[in-house]
Amino acid sequence: MRRSPLASTRAASGSRLPRRHPGAPRRSHRNHSRPARLAVPYVFLAPALVLYGAFMLYPVGRAVHLSLFDWDGMGLGVFVGLRNYADLAADGALRASFVHAAVLMIFYCAVPLVIGVIIAAVLNRGKVRGLGFFRTVFFVPQVIAMVVVATAWAGIYAFNGPLNQTLRSLGLGFLAVDWLGSYTWALPAIGLIGTWVEIGLVTVLMLSGMAKINPELYEAARLDGAGAIREFFAVTWPCVVGETAVALTLTIVAALKTFDLVYMTTSGGPGNSTTVPSYQVYYQAFRLHDVGMAAAIGVALTALIFAVNLVVNRLADRAEA
């Protein structure tokens, strides 16, 4: 899936705006026959459905299909049923890649959420001058290609790069470690790149939610003598649960597809400490020639994204209800 800041799937179906008009043409002044009129929406949809079917739905089906075979991508595949999935569950290194993805979720979702909410609350409450400027700046990492982001950060994390130089000049040289070569730090270091990228997205989403809050609520809270923090939990937070769900959905998806970042920074090392499922898909298919396994990982990844989305939105619905 694309890194879609706004692919707020929940928004679409949950639209509470009244549809002002039922839509379909009730009558046409032209002399279309009834079947022709009925066909109109399908004609409009046809090109999208054909292309989408051919290059999205069919490949998804094929991925499930391929995942049932032992195939090297060259010879004839052998049907093995669900064995690739069993191997996936049994293989320590592959399982670890999913664990790493879970760790990355903390850095891609939880941390940006906290920081993004704070920034948005500040921007919203403070009636800060230069709001447009800050908003534009915070969002910039979202629009830059991951390859570029990785290049920028690999330089920063280099052993004699700016980060360690800064630490050393502050007299904190003992903290200067080999970030991308450390079993302890490589994964968090990659995660922090994700934090850096996602903060802007969360901030913009939160701002949009907060902008819709009735100012009278704030005034009431302030009359009650609520400080900034109580005001936040009493007024702001309940109103942005929906946006939080959207933000979580999007950042979780981003955390689960970190192929280019890992490809550019650590290639999965040291050891296997930064392998992620999306990297494994590529690696299994084109380096180890195990196409069935690659497809199985892709399918598992998709299932995981569906499941996480489901949970997040169930929780959000409950919180709002």
Report how far residue 98's alpha carbon sits from residue 310's, in angstroms, rounded to the nearest whole number: 18
Q: Which one of the spans 9-17, 101-109, 213-221, 230-238 is the region binding another protein (CB under 8 A)?
A: 9-17
Give me the count of residues in the chain. Answer: 321
* Binds another protein (CB under 8 A): choice among 103, 106, 118, 167: 118
270 belongs to the binding site for another protein (CB under 8 A): yes
- Please state, as a whole number, how many other Cβ atoms lie within 10 Å of the Cβ of residue 170: 9
Report how far residue 148's alpha carbon sits from residue 290's, in angstroms, rounded to the nearest whole number: 30
- Nearer to another protein by Cβ, of 89 and 183: the residue is 183
- Binding residue count for another protein, defined by CB under 8 A: 159
- Nearer to another protein by Cβ, of 29 and 171: the residue is 29
Report how far residue 313's alpha carbon sits from residue 114's, in angstroms, rounded to the nearest whole number: 19
Q: Which one of the spans 97-105, 106-114, 213-221, 271-279 is the region binding another protein (CB under 8 A)?
A: 271-279
**Contact string 57-96 vs another protein (x = CB under 8 A):** xxxxxxxxxx-xx-xxxxxxxxx-------------x---
Q: Which one of the spans 82-90, 97-105, 167-175, 307-315 is the region binding another protein (CB under 8 A)?
A: 307-315
**Contact string 18-47 vs another protein (x = CB under 8 A):** -xxxxxxx--xxx-------x-xxx-xx-x
233 belongs to the binding site for another protein (CB under 8 A): no
213 belongs to the binding site for another protein (CB under 8 A): no
Q: ∠ CA 229-104-258 to the nearest 5 degrees?
A: 125
Report how far residue 66's alpha carbon sits from residue 215's, in angstroms, rounded to the nearest whole number: 55
- Nearer to another protein by Cβ, of 45 and 89: the residue is 45
Which tokens in the block code for residue 293? 């396994």
Q: For residues 143-182, which are near another protein according to CB under 8 A?
A: 143-149, 151-153, 155-159, 162, 177-182
Do 282 and 132 meet the contact criterion of CB atoms below 8 Å apart?
no
DSSP-H helix ranges across 53-145 = 58-66, 83-90, 92-105, 111-125, 131-143
Report how far residue 254's alpha carbon sits from residue 305's, in angstroms, rounded to the nearest whole number: 10
Report how far residue 134's alpha carbon sits from residue 207's, in angstroms, rounded to the nearest whole number: 12
295 belongs to the binding site for another protein (CB under 8 A): yes
Q: For residues 123-142, which are near another protein according to CB under 8 A?
A: 123, 125-128, 132, 134-141
* Binds another protein (CB under 8 A): choice among 82, 228, 230, 319: 228
191 belongs to the binding site for another protein (CB under 8 A): no
